[in-house]
Amino acid sequence: MSASQHDGEQPFVSVVLPAHNEISLLGSTVVNLATGLSDRGLSYELVVVENGSHDGTLRLARMLAAQIPSVRVLTLGHGDYGAALATGFEAARGRYVVNFDVDYYDLAFLDVSLARLASGEASMVLASKRAPGSSDGRPIARRALTAGFAAVLRAAVGLQVSDAHGMKAMVRESAAPFVRQCHLRGSLFDVELVVRTGRAGLVVQEVPAVVFERRPPRTSVALRSLESLLGVFRLRALLAREARSEAPAAKAREAG
């Protein structure tokens, strides 16, 4: 693939792809993404972050990397979506970084978001399932969870967008400090990343998402709801503690 990343060159875009027990979908996803990125003439890398799989996902990822030069494989010993995202973002070498899921990706989103990032009008672009023009084909219970969770985040930590989960594209140098600041893992890592980016004053834009499930959900709505609520309380406490610790320094700067 002529547009794939060559050793020693900085890719234009890094695509981070967490993979946990994804042997049934990983091959088609990687091939589709590699083909689409090459057809666009972009220099790129696909960073597959296998985490805690026990179904042969790691073996398949390494086979794909041996066949497609643009594919890099990282591995974690335990299954953790947020840790996989954080590891992939830290390892990314591209000017821009995009995260997709093995079962949820959209090259049209990549086209729109890269244009906005390159123009300088945003530092992060989100694919929002709740933005005007979105099409969300998930069951109603999961759509309700997304709406309720966004409302809780707005009230608890000042979330400035309508949806913090899902596909994101970022300017790597702008995002890197916030990736390192994030404490939460699991499904709350990317929420913390979005919140911290917005609170720092960087422009976070959202575009409508088209969502359909390629497989049944792996966790129940009840379990996701409990995990999300606990995560919000932890994030609120983290941000409050940081604000208290920074207050004396802020007052000293004002006095000086």
Express each pLDDT in 32-43 by its tens digit: 999 999 999 999
pLDDT digits (tens, 9 = 90+) for 137-166: 777 777 777 777 778 777 777 777 877 778
Confidence at residue 2, expressed as pLDDT on a 0 to 100 scale: 38
pLDDT digits (tens, 9 = 90+) for 85-112: 999 999 999 999 999 999 989 999 999 9
Confidence at residue 254, expressed as pLDDT on a 0 to 100 scale: 59
The whole-number average pLDDT for the span 75-93 is 95
Between CA 189 and CA 131, with CA 28 as vertex, the angle to 5 degrees is: 45
Confidence at residue 255, expressed as pLDDT on a 0 to 100 scale: 58
**What is the chain's mean pLDDT, rounded?**
86
Whole-model pTM: value is 0.83
Confidence at residue 249, expressed as pLDDT on a 0 to 100 scale: 55
Confidence at residue 218, expressed as pLDDT on a 0 to 100 scale: 63
pLDDT digits (tens, 9 = 90+) for 175-227: 899 999 998 898 889 889 998 898 888 999 999 888 766 666 666 656 666 77
Q: What is the band of 117 on the pLDDT scale with cuts at 50, 70, 90?
A: very high
Confidence at residue 221, expressed as pLDDT on a 0 to 100 scale: 59
Q: Is 5 exposed, middle or buried (0-12, 13-18, 19+ CB in 10 A)?
A: buried
Confidence at residue 220, expressed as pLDDT on a 0 to 100 scale: 61
Confidence at residue 155, expressed as pLDDT on a 0 to 100 scale: 79
Match 């953790």 to its residue by tokens.
Answer: 80
Confidence at residue 247, expressed as pLDDT on a 0 to 100 scale: 62
Q: How far apart are CA 235 and CA 102, in angstroms?
A: 27
Domains of the chain: 13-140+160-213 (3.90.550.10)
**Is pLDDT at 239 greater than 80 in this prediction?**
yes
Confidence at residue 18, expressed as pLDDT on a 0 to 100 scale: 97
